[in-house]
């Protein structure tokens, strides 16, 4: 019985992880794909293009409580068909990764890229179902 409860708790935690408040599916990836081209993938061009794209979203990408970084890299790889880990292995400026220039607070909002999302209905139903199962098992 305890094994099932642990599995359900893990599933519940996975379901409840925060989504990303940025709609990466609607971003313009040509800033990266037009400059970072294979088969060589020149680090100077690729890393600068990556910074130009990602720096406006640095706070959200670096927030480990959401899935923005995973979502962003999924779309970058989808549109650019880059080798896995290209930017992580090539683009380094210091021990903390890439350094983004300071941006005015409203710069990311100008494009309308930051969106607030309410929890989706399927997410709420799945969460309710897991909670119901947990209360019956425990």
If asked whether residues 9 and 57 sit together in one domain, one would say no
Q: Does one domain contain both 103 and 47?
A: yes
Cis ω on the peptide bond leading into residue 39 (within 30° of 0)?
A: yes
Do 86 and 51 share a structural domain? yes
Report the residue count for the chain.
138
Poorest-pLDDT segment among 42-51, 73-82, 116-125: 116-125
Mean pLDDT of the chain: 76
What secondary structure letter does DSSP report for 97? S
Query: How many domains does the structure of the chain reveal?
Result: 2
**pLDDT value, residue 18:** 74
CA Rg, the chain, in Å? Answer: 19
Listed residue (52, 50, 60, 55) closest to 23, CA to CA:
60
- 47 plus 4 within the same structural domain: no
- 97 Cβ neighbours under 8 A, 6+ residues apart: 91
pLDDT tens-digit readout, 85-138: 999 899 988 877 788 987 555 544 444 444 434 444 444 545 554 554 555 556
77 with 127, same domain: the answer is no
Cα–Cα distance, 60 to 112 (Å, whole number) = 15
Interatomic CA distance for residues 115 and 50, integer angstroms:
22
pTM flag (> 0.85)? no
Q: Residue 28 is part of which domain span?
A: 24-116
């Amino acid at each position: 019985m305890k094994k099932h409860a642990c599995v359900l708790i893990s599933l519940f935690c996975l379901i409840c992880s925060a989504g990303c408040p940025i709609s990466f599916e609607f971003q313009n990836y040509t800033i990266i794909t037009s400059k970072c081209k294979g088969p060589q993938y020149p680090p100077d061009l690729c890393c600068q293009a990556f910074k130009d794209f990602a720096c406006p979203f640095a706070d959200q990408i670096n927030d480990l409580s959401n899935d923005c970084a995973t979502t962003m890299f999924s779309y970058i790889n989808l549109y650019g068909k880059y080798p896995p880990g290209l930017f992580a292995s090539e683009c380094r400026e210091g021990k903390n990764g890439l350094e983004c220039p300071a941006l005015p607070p409203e710069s990311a909002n100008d494009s309308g890229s930051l969106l607030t999302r309410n929890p989706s209905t399927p997410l709420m139903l799945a969460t309710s179902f897991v909670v119901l199962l947990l209360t019956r098992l425990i």
